[in-house]
Amino acid sequence: MRCVEVRKRVVVAMSGGVDSSVAACLLKEQGYEVIGATMLIRKGEKAKDPLDGCGAQYVEDARQVAQQIEIPFYVFNLEEEFEREVIQYFCDEYGKGRTPNPCVLCNQKVKFGAFSKKALELEAGYISTGHYARLEYDEMARRTLLKKGLDRKKDQSYVLFSLKQNQFQRALFPLGEYKKEEVRRKAHELGLRVHDKPESQEVCFIEEDSYHPFLKDRLKGAVGPGPILDRSGEMLGTHKGVPFYTIGQRRGLGLAKGVPLYVIGIDREKNAIIVGEEKDVFADTFIVDSLNWIVTPHEKTLPPAQVKIRYNHPGSDAVLSWTGDDEVEVKFNIPQKAITPGQAAVFYDGDTVLGGGWIKEVRSQEHRA
């Protein structure tokens, strides 16, 4: 009897938003013993928006929903883990001239790492989040597969690609079969106080509208002005600091050359930003390292895949080939805009996530007229 209880107990990571609140409700309806818990990651700091996922209000919103649906509620203090695994990574990557994706690391290291350990202390068999993604067990491969959420506009499988099999085996994503409008309707029907709460679109731990002041404070002397160069090496102007720019950026360059100019490269060693025309932002070949495979790959050949190079990228057909034990070359059939080192590249076969890794370098520029 004791084993059955533990197996059915689930701790839901409640952010104070509509998605995680409905996830908790759905699991309770399905017969799970549900416990709500919120991650405290920025204690004592004032958020830029009381509805932001890192403000004090989100804890109270989650607590009130838990009270409303009559489930136990806890606050897990994960400030140290979040600082170490997410914020430090965020700053280090920008300092190297790369563009990070903190959500991927937060899911892997914090939500399904530190948070999961706290859930184990409550003898929970599962943890759950409000992600729009699906899990399916493959009997033949004896592996849990990650699939896109039914709502293609909200699909969040991209930010879950780095999870391991042991993390998937203890995860529940009850919203994977729902569309966002259905979730809001469910919240309204249940009378949840957060049913019409807007979504936060910004990096949750940045208080200002821009992340520049945050990086300037964190990186101290590592941020300084430098040259803006064209593709031939001619100096066109001066930038404010490498961490403030990313591939494909057009605004904020302060250049007036008669044609729109975009950031097409970052040379951290020279503290330089390289700019070009829009056609120069397109490329078709790049290297991905630090791989995580959900579907076990063939040791010699890799299948064609649809590859996403950022969260909002629709994905595009590509050929994958091994270049090392933990590295692959990706070649798009059609050149894509702003392939950015530091971002995640996730490989799909239809709805199924094959795996993914981190964009290391771009090896070709395909110019369009």
In this structure, are 56 and 177 located in the same domain? yes
Which of residues 189, 206, 236 is at a domain's end? 189
In this predicted structure, what is the pLDDT of residue 318? 98
Asked whether residue 202 is assigned to any structural domain, the reply reads: no
**Quick one: DSSP state of residue 196?**
T
In this structure, are 175 and 32 located in the same domain? yes
In this predicted structure, what is the pLDDT of residue 191? 94
Asked whether residue 244 is assigned to any structural domain, the reply reads: yes
CA-CA distance, 85 to 80, in Å (whole number)?
8
67 neighbors 59 (Cβ within 8 angstroms): no
Which of residues 168, 189, 210 is at a domain's end? 189
204 neighbors 228 (Cβ within 8 angstroms): no
In this structure, are 322 and 268 located in the same domain? no
pLDDT per residue of the chain (369 residues) written in tens, 0 to 9: 334 455 599 999 999 999 999 999 999 999 999 999 999 987 544 444 433 444 567 899 999 999 999 999 999 999 999 999 999 999 999 999 999 999 999 999 999 999 999 999 999 999 999 999 999 999 999 999 999 999 999 999 999 999 999 999 999 999 999 999 999 999 999 999 898 888 776 678 887 778 999 999 999 878 899 999 999 999 999 999 999 999 999 998 989 888 999 999 999 999 999 999 999 999 999 999 999 999 999 989 999 999 999 999 999 999 999 999 999 999 999 999 999 999 999 999 999 999 999 999 999 765 443
What would the two tokens of residue 197 be? 């709460």
In this structure, are 91 and 177 located in the same domain? yes
| CATH number of residue 42's parent domain | 3.40.50.620
In this structure, are 75 and 49 located in the same domain? yes
When divided into structural domains, the chain yields a total of: 3
- Residue 47 lies in domain: 2-189
In this predicted structure, what is the pLDDT of residue 52? 41
Asked whether residue 167 is assigned to any structural domain, the reply reads: yes
In this structure, are 272 and 134 located in the same domain? no
In this structure, are 263 and 170 located in the same domain? no
In this structure, are 287 and 249 located in the same domain? no
In this structure, are 181 and 107 located in the same domain? yes
126 neighbors 171 (Cβ within 8 angstroms): yes
Closest by Cα among 351, 297, 295 to 320: 297
In this predicted structure, what is the pLDDT of residue 1? 36
In this structure, are 79 and 123 located in the same domain? yes
| CATH number of residue 249's parent domain | 2.30.30.280
In this structure, are 7 and 65 located in the same domain? yes
Which of residues 144, 164, 189 is at a domain's end? 189
In this structure, are 11 and 148 located in the same domain? yes
In this predicted structure, what is the pLDDT of residue 364? 75
> Is the overall model pTM greater than 0.75, yes or no?
yes
In this predicted structure, what is the pLDDT of residue 136? 98
Asked whether residue 213 is assigned to any structural domain, the reply reads: no
Asked whether residue 209 is assigned to any structural domain, the reply reads: no
| CATH number of residue 339's parent domain | 2.40.30.10
Asked whether residue 218 is assigned to any structural domain, the reply reads: no
In this predicted structure, what is the pLDDT of residue 366? 56
Asked whether residue 200 is assigned to any structural domain, the reply reads: no
Asked whether residue 195 is assigned to any structural domain, the reply reads: no
In this predicted structure, what is the pLDDT of residue 237? 95
DSSP 100-142: --HHHHIIIIIIIIIHHHHHHHTT-SEEE---SEEEEEETTTT
Q: Rounded to 5 degrees, what are φ and ψ at 316?
A: -150, 150
**Residues involved in catalysis:** 106, 204
